[in-house]
Structure formats: structure tokens, C-alpha cells
Amino acid sequence: MSEEAQSPMTLLYTEVEEELRAAVRSLLTDRSSPSAVLAHVESAATTGAVPYDMELWKALGRDIGAAGLLIPEDLGGAGASAREAAVVLEELGRAVAPVPYLSSAVLATRALLGARDEAARELLGRLASGEVTAALAVSFAASPYTPPHPAVTLGADGTLTGRVTGVIGAEVADVLIVPVSAEGGDPALYAVDASAARIKTVASLDLTRPIATVSFSEARARPVGSVAGVADALLLAAGLLASEQLGVAEWCLSTTVAYVKERKQFARPVGSFQAIKHRLADLWLEVVGARAAARNAAALLGAGEDAGVAVAVGVAQAHCGTVAVHAAEECIQLHGGIGMTWEHPAHLYLKRAKADEIALGTPGDHRDALATLADLPGPVS
């Protein structure tokens, strides 16, 4: 065994991860500042367009190579791990960037990696190059501990019929990855051209990540392998979502600290008041705890070992979702009047935090799962 393989797992960021962070942050600073995101989503709401910034996604996915981080090198990807993907999501959360990274480069990609089919490998190569964008046709509210039964069925003529609600990234996907049930057979994974499906965007709390209802009516599809990877995709996405929530919380904390240093009341900076100091100190401790939980989940997911992964994901999601919401609430309140306006981007962070909190299982769902995973006794009647 190599010395590297024997070294203990660390939650510290590696040099490669810091270089990746610097590249992503530089791109987002130039192309997707919070004020730019706010202007973009407001423009999309006015024109009826989807809020995704596909030019930004092209730069992130193709130029930086983020689209293929989780795809093996022999398929054209970077062969990186969940640790690197977590760093990207931290930065995307910090900027509330409207790009389909989680839906395409994490959920759809991981589902295809578990399909183990030549057709899936071919599609993964196109995803790695940034040639296509994919979406996994599973509700964003699905629990990683109890993956939903496929809502789409395979007809005798090989076409798909059914409807899936709460799908993210479908509006801008070129290909939909669909779990399908077949009468008398095992569930399988199919790829469908997005043009063959009816995609209807529905109201979403998060203005930067819409959800959609995807309907199929005798849609032509091609099999890409087993659905075994869907459960792994949901667990991976839940674990990495904690890093996005960490990014949201860190932006809210740092922005609020900067603001209270400048905002004056009674000829003194607001941040000099003891009560404000205590609130921000408490929030800092929460964010530090969230970072440890998110990094632990990413590290175990990246190690490729099954032992302890579900527990680490459950802990991260049970904690980070709540911290992100609290950080966004404190950000709005401590900004005073300006924080309550649509002109300040703080509301985008609160909406992203609240939407993420109920995505891929609520904190309560994760705590319930942890009780089972840790073999804790049930409540005493």
C-alpha cells in the first residue's frame, strides 16, 4: 500500500482544491456577482425566461472543466472526487450562481456512472466535454435513504409514459436521465432527448434554481443501464448539497460582518454593540461546525468507501441546512432596512437556503435516518 493510501483522511483543503476554488471564484467574481445574479433573475422573471445563465455554465463546465470533475479520465473527465466537487459547490453557493451544476454534473452524472452500460459511457463522455447538459428525472425532494419508485413506465413499443414532479435542471437539459419501471422486468435507466418531453416550470421558492414537472407521452428513449446508480446519486447530491449550504452561510456571515463595521448608529459602528458581537460570534461557531460536517461528508464520499458515508451525509444535512437558513435570516435582519428590500441580494440567499433545506430530505428526515443508522432506540411511549 502506498504512503498516500495509508495517510489518514484530512478535512483540510488540498493545494489542488484551493487552486480549483481560486479558478471558480475568479470566474464567478467576474461574471456572477450577487448583484449580477439579482439583475439576471429579475430580467428572466420579466421576460418569462428560465433564470439559468448558460453562458456562465459553459465557462464553468467547459473552460474550467467542472462538468467532468466526477467522470473518469478514460471517459474524458477529470477523474476527481467528491472533495473537488464540494469545493465547486461551496463557491456556487457563495454566489447563488444560476447554473445547472448540481443537476447535471452531480445527479445525472452519478446516476450514469452507476448504470455500467456502454451507452451510459458514451453519454458521460459528452457530458465531460460540456457538449451536452443532463438532468436526472427524479424529484429534488426525494430522500436519499428511500429512493422513489420510478414514476415512468415502459410501453410495449419501447416508448416512455409518465410524469415526474419537482425536477431541477430539466429546462436547460439536452438529455433527461429517467428511471423507468417495466412490467415483468427490473427497473432500468433510460435517456430521453429533452425535446421529446413536456417540461413545465412551476413556482419555486429559489429564484435561481427553478423546478419543473416533466411529462412523457410515448417518448422515444434509449436504455443506458441499471438504476442502481440513482440511489448513490441521491446520497452523493445530498452530501454535496451541504457544501453549497456552507457557501451560502459563509457569504451571509462575511457580508454581514463587513456591513456592521461600516453601518453607524449613535455615531458608532453597529458592530461595536455587544449584542451584535454575540450574535455574530454564535453564528461564526455554527458556520465552523457546518464546515466540519460538510467537509467530512465530502471526504468520505470522495474516499469511495461505504462505511460511515450515510451517517456523515445525514449529519451534514441535518446541521448545514439549518445553519444556512439561520445565517441568511441574520444577514437580512442585521442589514436593517436595506436587507428587507428586493434591491439587496440577501433575499436570494434566504430563498436558496430555505429551498435547499427541504431538498433531498429535510433536516428532520436526516435526523430520523440517523437514529436508524446509529441504532438508537425509538421514543418512549
> DSSP per residue over 289-310, as a string?
HHHHHHHHHHHHHHHT--TTHH
Mean of pLDDT values over 14-33? 94
What whole-number distance in Å separates Cα of residue 362 and Cα of residue 358? 4
Domain boundaries, the chain: 10-132, 152-228, 230-373
Given the DSSP bridges, would you call strands 198-202 and 211-220 parallel, antiparallel or unpaired? antiparallel
Residue 222 phi/psi, 5-degree rounding, is: -130, 135
For domain 152-228, give the fold.
Answer: Butyryl-CoA Dehydrogenase, subunit A; domain 2 (2.40.110)
Burial class (CB in 10 A: 0-12, 13-18, 19+), 167: buried
Angle subtended at Cα 202 by Cα 199 and Cα 204, rounded to the nearest 5 degrees: 130
pTM: 0.92
Domain 230-373 sits in CATH at: 1.20.140.10
- Closest residue by Cα to residue 334 from 236, 232, 221, 258: 258
pLDDT of residue 5: 43
Quick one: what percent of the chain has pLDDT higher than 90?
Answer: 68
Instruction: Retrieve residue 316's grid coordinates.
Output: 451534514
What whole-number distance in Å separates Cα of residue 78 and Cα of residue 237? 18
For domain 10-132, give the fold.
Answer: Butyryl-Coa Dehydrogenase, subunit A; domain 1 (1.10.540)
What whole-number distance in Å separates Cα of residue 261 and Cα of residue 238? 35
Mean pLDDT of the chain: 90
**134 in Cβ contact with 102 (< 8 Å):** no
Cβ neighbours, 10 Å, residue 56: 21
Q: For residue range 258-316, what is the model confidence (pLDDT) as tens digits?
A: 988 877 667 677 766 778 889 999 999 999 999 999 999 999 998 877 768 999 999 99
What whole-number distance in Å separates Cα of residue 249 and Cα of residue 261? 19
> DSSP per residue over 28-96, as a string?
HHHH--HHHHHHHHHHHHHHT-----HHHHHIIIIIS-GGGTTS-GGGTS----HHHHHHHHHHHHHHT
Q: Is the pLDDT of residue 373 over 80?
A: yes
pLDDT of residue 250: 97
Q: Is the pLDDT of residue 184 over 70?
A: no
The amino acid sitting at 354 is: K
Q: For residue range 185-209, what is the model confidence (pLDDT) as tens digits?
A: 788 999 999 999 999 999 889 999 9
